[in-house]
Amino acid sequence: MLPMIHNLLIVDDESIIVEGLYECFQQLEQTTFDLHKAFDGEEALEVARRMRIDVLLTDIEMPGMNGLLLQEAITRLWPRCKTIFLTGYSNFQYIQTSMRNGAIDYVLKTEEDRNVIASVWKAVSLIAEEHSMDRLLHDVRGKWNQVLPVLRRDYLLELLEGEPSSPESRASRFQELQVPLQPDALLHLCVGRVDGWPDNIRPGDKSLFLYCVGNIAAEHFADFDLVFLEAPSLDRFFWIMQPKARGLSGASADRGEVRPGMEADTEAEGFVHRSLEKYILGTIDLIQGACRMVIKLPCSFVAGCHPCAWEDVFTKYNQLNFQLVRGLGLGKEILLSDGRDFAPVQGKSSAREYEVKQLAQMLERGDREHFTSLFKALCTEVQSRDGIHSGKELELFYVFTSMFIMFINRRGMLEDISTKVNMNKLLSVHEHTTWDKAVCFFQELAEKLFEREDLESSTETNAVIWKVQEYIRQHIGDDLSLTRLSEIVFLSPYYLSSLYKQQTGQGIVEFINEVKLARAKEMLSVSSKKIYEIGLELGFLSPSYFNRFFKKMERVTPQEYRNLLNE
C-alpha cells in the first residue's frame, strides 16, 4: 500500500529561499510530498484555493499578506493544515502569535536544511497521528451513545433480512451494541403497522408516534426483555422479545433452558406454550387499544406467539409480514398470531433475498470469484425434479433474470450484449428444458459481463496512463506535481499515484526522471544550448541541481557527457 501523498506549499518573497527548499525536498530519497511554491501570500492563497494544503512552510515577514495572515486564511480553507514558519531573525512576539494561531514549529532561515526537513516530517507525523486508527476510534467512542441506537437497529434489521450469524458472533455484537437479548435463546417477534396517520401530522412526528408505540409495548411487556425498532418506511415497526428469567411461569422453557425431566413433561410444556400464547396475544390486544385511545393511532399487529431460534428469525419475519399483508376482515386494526393456519412462507426459497442481494452487489463490484461461488451455492440448493416451469426453480430463474437485466440496463450494455447471447433465454423460462441448462446459461452470461467490464476498465485505465505520460512528455519543463497531473485525468493525487504504480510497476516520479534524462541526453547531443539553459528548459531550478541529477543517473556530469559525445 502506497503512503499518503502530502501537499507541501513553500512560500517566501525571496526566490532563492523558495527554489533552494523546493530543490532540497525534491532530492529526498524517500518522500511522500507533492511540492508547490509561491512567492507571496496572495499567490500562495490562490494555490490553496485550487488544492488541499497539508503542510504550509512560509516566511513570516512578507510584503502585502504576511505569513500570519496567510496562515489564518489557509487554515480557514484547510483546518487540518500544519504550518511551519520561517524567519530571518528570532522574534519572541512573532513566535508567541504564530504558536497561538496553531503553528507547529518555528525555524530560522540561518538553520541547516535538515532542521527544516525535520520540522516538515514532524508535521507529517502529526497528520498521521490524527488519521491513526486509535485516534479515530477514540473520537468514535466519544460519540458512541449518539450512534448506538442506529447501529443497533441496523444490525437487527440485517438479522431479520437473513444475514447469517452464529451464537458467538451474535454474543459479541449484542455486547458491543448493548442489545438486551440473549444471543442463543429462543425469541418472540411481533410485526406492526400504522393503519392511518393523523391528518395534521407534521414532518418528523412519525418517529415520535412510533417512539410512543415502543414505550407502550415496553410497559405492557415488563416481564420481557424487549427491543423495539422502526422499519425504514416509517409505517412499519417490530419488536423482538424474550421472557426474563423466571419472569413468567414456565417462561424459562422459552429461553432454551433444559430442566431435569423436561423430555417427559410434554403435557406441561404444551400448557406453558398455550398460556404464553394467550398472554402475548392478550397483551398486544391491550397495546392496540392503548395506541387507539391514548395516542389516536390505529395499528395492526401480527404476534409471534410461538418462539423461534435466531437462525429461523428471517423465516419468521417473512411469515408475519405475509400475514400482515394478507390480513383478515376489515384490513385495519388487525390482530393476528402465527398460530393461525396460514399457508407457510418458505424462508429459503422466497428469500434467499439476502444472498441474492449480495450476488447483485458482487456483480456490480466486478467480484467474479465470490459471485461464482455464491451463484453455485444458490443454484445447488434447487434440486429440480418437476422441471423448471414451476416452484423454486421458476422463482429463482426470474430473480436472476431481474438482477441481470438491471445490471445490463444500468451499464448501457443491452445492444452490445444482445450480439453475444440469446436474450430470449434471459427473458423466458420456456427457452430452457432443464434447470441445469438455465444455470449454464446464467453462468455464461455472467462470464461475458465480467469480461466486458474487465475490458472496459482496462481500456479506460490504459487511456489514463497514456494521457498522463503524454502530458509529461509535452510539458517536461512545467509543473509536473502529482496534483497537476491528477487534475488532467480527474482523479485524486493519491489514487492516481496508486493506479500508475499498479499498472506500470514504477512511480510517476521515476517516469518523469526517465523522460527528463532522455530529453537531456538528446539536447546535449544535438543542441548547442548551454548546460544551464538545457537544465532550465527541463524544469531544473538551478545548474547545480541539474548536474547532481544527471550525474546520479549517468555517473557523469552533463558537460562530461557532452565531451564524450564530441571525442
pTM (2 d.p.) = 0.56
Classify residue 480: in a domain, yes or no: yes
Question: Residue 254: its pLDDT value, please?
Answer: 43
Find all residues with CB under 8 Å of 309, minimum gap 6, and list them.
186, 187
- Joined together, the cell numbers standing for residue 403 give 438482477
Question: Residue 233: its pLDDT value, please?
Answer: 64
Rg of the chain over CA atoms, in angstroms?
35
The three-state (H, E, C) secondary structure of 411-443, written as one string: HCCHHHHHCCCCHHHHHCHHHCCCHHHHHHHHH
* Separation of alpha carbons 370 and 380, rounded Å: 15
| CATH number for the domain harbouring residue 104 | 3.40.50.2300
Looking at the fold, whether 189 and 252 belong to one and the same domain comes out as yes
Looking at the fold, whether 25 and 62 belong to one and the same domain comes out as yes
Looking at the fold, whether 164 and 261 belong to one and the same domain comes out as yes
Classify residue 329: in a domain, yes or no: yes
The burial class, CB within 10 Å (0-12 / 13-18 / 19+), for 430 is exposed
- The amino acid sitting at 243 is P
Question: Residue 11: its pLDDT value, please?
Answer: 95
Looking at the fold, whether 97 and 177 belong to one and the same domain comes out as no
Helix (H) / strand (E) containing 188: strand 188-194
Q: pLDDT digit of tens for each residue in the chain (567 aa)? A: 445 788 999 999 988 889 889 888 887 866 678 899 999 999 999 999 988 999 999 998 899 999 989 999 999 999 989 999 888 765 555 665 656 666 778 888 778 888 899 999 998 888 888 777 666 666 666 676 777 888 888 899 888 888 888 899 999 999 989 999 999 999 999 999 999 898 888 877 888 899 999 999 999 999 999 999 987 566 889 999 999 865 454 444 444 443 444 344 555 555 455 678 889 999 999 999 999 999 999 999 999 999 999 999 988 988 888 888 776 655 688 898 887 554 444 444 444 666 788 888 889 888 899 899 989 888 887 765 556 766 778 888 888 999 999 999 988 888 888 888 899 999 998 899 888 899 999 999 999 999 988 888 888 889 999 999 999 999 999 989 888 898 898 887 878 888 898 899 988 989 999 999 999 999 999 988 999 999 999 988 788 889 988 998 999 999 999 988 877
- Joined together, the cell numbers standing for residue 510 give 521515476
Residue carrying the nine cell digits 491528477: 486
Nearest to 35 by CA among 539, 464, 543: 539
The burial class, CB within 10 Å (0-12 / 13-18 / 19+), for 471 is middle
* Separation of alpha carbons 332 and 311, rounded Å: 31
Classify residue 458: in a domain, yes or no: no
Looking at the fold, whether 279 and 362 belong to one and the same domain comes out as no
Looking at the fold, whether 364 and 294 belong to one and the same domain comes out as no
Nearest to 11 by CA among 125, 29, 385, 46: 46
Looking at the fold, whether 429 and 479 belong to one and the same domain comes out as no
Three-state DSSP class for 290?
helix
Question: Residue 93: its pLDDT value, please?
Answer: 59
Question: Residue 107: its pLDDT value, please?
Answer: 82
Asked if 82 and 54 count as a contact pair (C-beta separation under 8 A), the reply is: yes
Looking at the fold, whether 17 and 111 belong to one and the same domain comes out as yes
Classify residue 457: in a domain, yes or no: no
Looking at the fold, whether 130 and 223 belong to one and the same domain comes out as no
Classify residue 456: in a domain, yes or no: no
Looking at the fold, whether 105 and 205 belong to one and the same domain comes out as no
Classify residue 318: in a domain, yes or no: yes
Question: Residue 23: its pLDDT value, please?
Answer: 84
Looking at the fold, whether 324 and 389 belong to one and the same domain comes out as no
- Joined together, the cell numbers standing for residue 11 give 512560500
Classify residue 143: in a domain, yes or no: no
Of 111, 136, 161, the position where a domain reaches its end is: 136
| CATH number for the domain harbouring residue 552 | 1.10.10.60
Question: Residue 146: its pLDDT value, please?
Answer: 75
Of 311, 337, 363, the position where a domain reaches its end is: 337
Question: Residue 3: its pLDDT value, please?
Answer: 58
Looking at the fold, whether 314 and 195 belong to one and the same domain comes out as yes
| Number of domains within the chain | 4
Of 310, 337, 364, the position where a domain reaches its end is: 337
Asked if 223 and 198 count as a contact pair (C-beta separation under 8 A), the reply is: no
Classify residue 145: in a domain, yes or no: no
Full domain range(s) for residue 369: 353-450
Strand partners, 466: none
